[in-house]
Amino acid sequence: MSEKIFVTRPYLPPLAKFNVYLRQIWKTKVVTNNGYFVKKLEDDLKKYFGAKHVFFVANGTLGLQMAIRALGLKKEIITTPFTYVATADSIIWEHAKPVFVDIDKNCCIDPKKIRAKITKNTQAILAVHVYGYPCDVKAIDQIAQEFNLKLIYDAAHAFGVEIYGRSIATFGDVSVFSFHATKPFHSAEGGAIVTNSNQIAQKIYHMRSFGQPEEDIKSLGINAKNSEIHAALGLCVLDQIETILEKRQKICDTYNKYLKYTKLKNPHNRLNFKSNYAYYPIICKSESQLLKIKRSLEANNIFPRRYFYPSINTLPFIKGDKCPISESIAKRVLCLPLYSKLALVDVKRISKIINLAFRQEQETSPHKQIRSEGNVYPFQEL
Ligand code: T4K
């Protein structure tokens, strides 16, 4: 049996390179609390994003929570159900209420459906650039301005993405990234809060470090700092990011070439934006077809993941309004292995297994069932 292939693997720099950073940390004995490497990573990221303020934090979830708190949000926040649970968790953890709006063909929140969900209690929109596909930022920004709502982007998947010639990090009041090991850019654990607002930045600066970033305690805070060791790893990955993204692009191109059924191909190269090739989702015709494909891959030691299942509005501890498109897609979407060291021969092999399973399932399934479950395709018109 061939070696296991996982949905992702972190890019790891050569140990000798990482050791150079570690030696310096050992020498100075500064391992945390806003040391040299944390500041350097933040400065490098400011340049990379073209943004005024970047805060390196312990993880993306805490980043979202701090953004919600810094904006003073305690009532209703309009968000998407098609995301990782951390998005809604952050809202609820901060004692605000998520109000779910269904998704568009791009798997992101549908701006056309937002207005109908705005009430007198709505304070903000928290949109997610799912899979690194940018939300319709122009339309969402217009709604936020019209109704005087705060706008947070969960950019956990979107490091390196650009749209309209700008980094995705520069839209909205605040953008929050995850630097978890499963992301194309990572620092093992970590995240970043990005904003161009001095006022928000001041609040985050205090909040991140117990409300006591220097000697005086200025406000209520939390410990969301990250360490010198994490920052050092981040710096080692950051100077390789273009190569990492190029390799990921080749893998996506190879899937696009060998996956036979057009509905399975994803839109990285068809949308008008600079992609980071973060995920390769395929949308099956039915959940039974997805399970068949998943089983066929697993029998070959290949482990895709059901990102994102279930639709968050259906979780028993959340119970949001119905979102039929998100609920349908969540049952049928499967993310294929994608990481810079994945061999192209393996991508071809994975595609062949999927093509076979897809065809066999199509031949054996009652036509009616496939039609009734498969009438919603976010990618179909792209
Ligand atoms: N918003 C959104 C939209 C998000 O997707 C996330 C997180 C957040 C906010 C919050 O950001 P953080 O607080 O996490 O910074 C992962 C990640 O833990 C999570 O960061 C991510 N999104 C979510 C979508 O997925 P799992 O449960 O898939 O990880 P795991 O451990 O099953 O790993 C998947 C595969 O990756 C493994 O089968 C093998 C490989 N792997 C994983 C790790 C951790 C490695 O080879 N090495 C590793 O160290 O959660």
Contact 379, 263 (CB under 8 A): yes
Helix (H) or strand (E) holding 150: strand 150-154
77 vs 132: CA distance, rounded Å? 21
- Ligand 1 centroid to Cα of residue 180, in Å, is 6
Q: Fill in the amino acid letter for 90.
A: S
Substitution candidate for ligand 1 out of 79, 84, 128, 341 with most atoms within 8 A of CB: 84
Side-chain half-sphere exposure of 278, counting CA atoms within 13 A: 27
User: In the chain, which residues have pLDDT < 50?
Assistant: 368-375, 377, 381-382
Nearest atom of ligand 1 to the alpha carbon of 154: 1
Q: What is the pLDDT of residue 361?
A: 74
- Ligand 1 centroid to Cα of residue 178, in Å, is 9
Cβ neighbours of 206 (radius 10 Å): 20
Separation in Å, CA 290 to CA 153, 225, 307, 354? 30, 40, 12, 10
165 vs 182: CA distance, rounded Å? 26
84 vs 76: CA distance, rounded Å? 19
Q: Where are the alpha helices (DSSP H) in 50-124?
A: 60-70, 86-93
Q: What is the pLDDT of residue 362?
A: 72
Nearest atom of ligand 1 to the alpha carbon of 178: 15
Helices (H) and strands (E) in the chain, counts: 12, 13
Q: Where are the alpha helices (DSSP H) in 197-271?
A: 198-207, 228-238, 241-258
Q: What is the dihedral of CA 7, 13, 14, 19, to 10 degrees?
A: -130
Q: Where are the alpha helices (DSSP H) in the chain?
A: 15-28, 36-49, 60-70, 86-93, 137-146, 198-207, 228-238, 241-258, 287-299, 324-332, 344-364, 367-373
Q: What is the pLDDT of residue 363?
A: 74
Q: What's the alpha-carbon Rg for the chain, to the nearest Å?
A: 21
- Ligand 1 centroid to Cα of residue 376, in Å, is 27
CA atoms 316, 318, 324, 327: torsion sign = negative
**Any residues with CB less than 8 A from the CB of 323 and at least 6 apart, and which?**
81, 82, 100, 101, 102, 103, 311, 313
Residues with a CB atom less than 6 Å from ligand 1: 6-10, 59-61, 83-84, 86-87, 128, 154, 156-157, 178, 180-182, 191, 303, 305, 307
Nearest atom of ligand 1 to the alpha carbon of 188: 49
Contact 187, 181 (CB under 8 A): no
- Ligand 1 centroid to Cα of residue 7, in Å, is 10
Going by alpha carbons, the residue nearest to atom 11 of ligand 1 is 60
Substitution candidate for ligand 1 out of 85, 182, 307 with most atoms within 8 A of CB: 182
Torsion angles phi and psi, residue 282, rounded to 5: -115, 145
3 state DSSP class of 59: coil
Nearest atom of ligand 1 to the alpha carbon of 63: 13
Burial of 72 (0-12, 13-18, 19+ CB in 10 A): exposed
Q: What is the pLDDT of residue 1?
A: 66
Burial of 368 (0-12, 13-18, 19+ CB in 10 A): exposed
Nearest atom of ligand 1 to the alpha carbon of 307: 24
- Ligand 1 centroid to Cα of residue 183, in Å, is 7
Q: What is the pLDDT of residue 328?
A: 95
Contact 286, 370 (CB under 8 A): yes
